[in-house]
Amino acid sequence: MVLTRKQKAFGRAALLLLAALALFCLLPGAARAANIRVCLKTAATDSEFTIEEGIYEVRGGNLAAETLCDAWEGDVVRVVKGAAGFTVYLNDEEAGRSAANVSLLATDDEDCSLSFGGKEYRGSFSVLTNGYVLNVLDLEYYLYGVVGEEIGYNAPEEALRAQAIVARSYAAYYMGGTYYDVLATTSSQVYGGLSAEKAHVSRAVRDAVDDQVLYYDGDLVEAVFSSSAGGYTEDNENVWGGQARPYLRGVPSPYDEGYNNYTWEVSYTPAQLKNLAEAYMKRVNQSGSFGSFVRLEVSYEAAGGGKTVSGRATNATLIGTQGSVSAKNDAIRTMLGLKSTLFKVTAGAASEVDDVDEEMDEVYVLGANGDLERRPVDEVYAVGAGDIVGQLGDLTKAYMRSASGLAAFGGGSGSASAQGVTIKGGGWGHGVGLSQYGAIGMAADGYTAEEILEHYYGGERPRLLQIDDLD
């Protein structure tokens, strides 16, 4: 595209005005109307941007006051972080330096796009001194790159509408963060940028996105969601702790059935459990040694007492011969490498073994130094009724906690059974708020978006839930 001198001058003036407006959106904590800051990368030291459409002004400084260069369609802008700040290159030639942030300001969100990290995005960008790379754009365009990525482009219309309202509510709830509002991953919401729009060309997604959000008793709802609840969602305090939210109550989610990850099963050997324990100890900076796997203990106690609404685990402990490590609530998924905390241990756990008939010839005993030690059964004695001391291996029938869990022995002999644990569970994700597969199933059965949202966020007083325009 070739512009005349007059067109270039006019474009330059418009660019400066729009850049000033975009700058305000980049300031941490500033009120931003309909703009959102999406963090695409952390700890960036060398960032490359290719201009796909439109004109960008590259600026430096905390207030983006320093104009470094203009970038046009086809230009490549590279931002390299060094000890003294940033060096900016335009098509491999140095274009300027900045002691603080570097911003690529779009003249228009709709007509400007660039590629970064293998994806194309609308809007402006900023590379912050702390290494964050932010995409700053209109909330509407952001949602175009979220809704289909989250619930699927072929989801029923009412499920798409429900997801759009939930996604806008979630984004609006978190707008106003110190450096960014949301991440582009499942840690917040999956955001595919303009690449996702172009790949799917989904008119249905655009039609689903409107200006509506969820309010409960007048307050904006923290509209969290997960892929599948496995048949029942959970109270928020039993997953993340903290204050109970009246709109994040556990409810049945029967329409999850028939979709991916409604149920699942995983088995671990003692060696794998040892690896999981040691990896999690490292993750949480817990010192000491784990040793060999002994058993897995799981609790399902709710924050307010009793059992959790859905049957989700709230505490799990991996116990070894030399140490143990525990995880609470949703962190259990990380420690045990599971899809959800909605599970039961069907073998190898202290509270979950019902029928045990395996035999063993080795047991763990507590030594004088307080450590668990492995000993042959024939070398262990027990005090029975009448204070009679008998060799453990001579008992007719007894149960003992072994390296593999609860085991039985008798008659003085038997072979070792190296057993880990088998875990059967359901759902994928934290299980709080909307179940996406549940929403798809409800929509397919004729429920409206409003009815879906009332089911998952209505709590005990659904009349307090309102769907309205974003203030």
DSSP H stretches of helix in 152-245: 157-174, 193-200, 203-208, 237-240
- Provide the 8-state DSSP code for 244: P
Q: What's the length of the chain?
A: 471
pLDDT at 383: 52
pTM beyond cutoff 0.85: no
In the chain, the N- to C-terminal Cα span, in Å, equals: 40
Q: What is the total count of domains within the chain?
A: 2
pLDDT at 374: 67
Report how far residue 149's alpha carbon sits from residue 399's, in angstroms, rounded to the nearest whole number. Answer: 51
Q: What is the DSSP string of 281-305?
A: HHHTT--S---SEEEEEEE-B-TTS
Regions in the chain scoring below 50 on pLDDT: 1-32, 349-360, 384-387, 393-399, 401-418
Q: Is residue 378 part of a domain?
A: yes
pLDDT at 364: 61
With beta carbons less than 8 A apart as the criterion, state whether 390 and 379 touch: no
Q: Is residue 460 part of a domain?
A: no
Tell which phi-psi region holds residue 91, choosing left (phi > 0), alpha (psi between -120 and 50) or beta: left
pLDDT at 34: 76
- Specify the 3-state DSSP secondary structure of 354: coil
pLDDT at 18: 40
With beta carbons less than 8 A apart as the criterion, state whether 335 and 316 touch: yes
pLDDT at 420: 86
| Nearest Cα to Cα of residue 434 among 225, 271, 250, 279 | 225
Q: Tell me the backbone φ, ψ of residue 73, rounded to 5 degrees.
A: -55, 125
Q: Is residue 235 part of a domain?
A: no
pLDDT at 12: 43
What percent of the chain is helix, strand and coil (3-state, nearest 5)? Answer: 25, 35, 40
**Which residues are bridge partners to 38 per DSSP?**
135, 182
Are 134 and 278 in the same domain?
Answer: no
Q: Point out the domain boundary residue: 120, 144, 168.
A: 144
Report how far residue 437's alpha carbon sits from residue 179's, in angstroms, rounded to the nearest whole number. Answer: 33
Query: Which helix (H) or strand (E) element contains residue 142?
Result: helix 139-144
pLDDT at 367: 61
Cβ atoms within 10 Å of 242's Cβ, excluding its own: 9
Residue type, 389: V
| Nearest Cα to Cα of residue 328 among 295, 298, 291, 290 | 298
Q: Point out the domain boundary residue: 126, 144, 162.
A: 144
Find the domain containing 408 and state its range: 264-425
Q: Is residue 437 part of a domain?
A: no
Q: Point out the domain boundary residue: 113, 144, 175.
A: 144
Q: Tell me the backbone φ, ψ of residue 251, rounded to 5 degrees.
A: -140, 155
pLDDT at 407: 47
Are 271 and 139 in the same domain?
Answer: no
Q: Is residue 256 part of a domain?
A: no
- Specify the 3-state DSSP secondary structure of 364: strand
Tokens for 51? 């201009």
- Specify the 3-state DSSP secondary structure of 66: strand
Q: Which residues contact 179 (CB under 8 A, 6 or more apart)?
A: 28, 37, 39, 128, 130, 132, 134
Report how far residue 449's alpha carbon sits from residue 157's, in angstroms, rounded to the nearest whole number. Answer: 9
Q: pLDDT by residue (tens digit) across 78-129? A: 999 999 999 999 999 999 999 999 999 998 877 899 999 999 999 999 999 9
- Specify the 3-state DSSP secondary structure of 277: helix
With beta carbons less than 8 A apart as the criterion, state whether 142 and 155 touch: no
Q: Which residues contact 379 (CB under 8 A, 6 or more apart)?
A: none
pLDDT at 107: 84
Beta strands in 285-379 (DSSP E): 293-299, 315-320, 324-328, 343-347, 362-366, 372-376
